[in-house]
Structure 1
Amino acid sequence: MTGRLLAAALVLALPASAQDLEERFNDYPTATRADYVFGCMAANGQGRDVLEKCACSIDTIAEILPYGKYVEAETVLSLRQTGGERMSVFRGAATDSIVADLRRAQAEAEIRCF
């Protein structure tokens, strides 16, 4: 119980911007982070060094992009791969800005981690 109170006091003592950043950084579920790392390793090779680079990459993306925006962009990208006339709405300019934010975060992660 004392540990919880101490942890709560420390969180409240953080400046608002640091607390917001910490909450945003930690809002990605573990399964999402693991899924990203598995995909990254499949594309870049197996090994401890690649694991660390891929983990760094998703951590960087999480710092830049809130989880909700990440989910939106991943959903759009997934739907763009689906054929058919109904999916054409996801290939238009209206969804390009959603994907562009993810692409910018991925580019920053590439620079920092690889």
Structure 2
Amino acid sequence: MISRLRILLAASLVFAGAWPSYAANDYPTAALADYVFGCMKSNGETNEMLERCSCSIDVISSIVPYEDYVAAETFKRMSLTTGEAAGLFRESAPAKAKSTELKRAQAEADMRCF
């Protein structure tokens, strides 16, 4: 099943290159693939989810610049750690702002794609 998923993901990236996706051009291919792979792991490894997850990252990338996306994901991952220092990643103004920006983009992506 995993090899089939990898083939589907690779094929989607090849086909995505055939028709330009202007929204996702600023995001590296690896970041797009990582998002789609994680989304499919969470929602099901089907062709339908491949389409929906690809749509989702396209919407997010059209709203959030890549640098802000990386910052938001970093804050999110670091906030899951334990200890006092992790509070900085949850409580600081930059962390809250980036988190809010990404959550809004994800909500928009959910409405459009799911």
TM-score tier (shorter): 0.7 to 0.9
- Judged with a 3 Å threshold, the aligned counterparts in structure 2 of structure 1 residues 85 and 101 are, in CA distance, closer, same or farther, namely same
The answer on whether the counterparts of 2:23 and 2:58 sit within 8 Å (CA) in structure 1 is: no
C-alpha separation in 2, matches of 1:89 and 1:46: 35
TM-score by length of 1: 0.77
Please, which runs of 5 or more residues in structure 1 have no aligned partner?
1-21
Name which one, 1 or 2, has greater alpha-carbon Rg.
1
% same residue? 52
Say whether 1:75 aligns with 2:67.
no
| AA at the equivalent of 1:104 | R
1:44 is aligned to 43
Please, which runs of 5 or more residues in structure 2 have no aligned partner?
1-20
The answer on whether the counterparts of 1:24 and 1:67 sit within 8 Å (CA) in structure 2 is: no
Q: Which runs of 4+ in 1 moved over 3 A?
A: 22-25
- Cα RMSD over matched residues? 1.5
TM-score by length of 2: 0.77
Q: Shift of residue 45 of structure 1?
A: 0.4
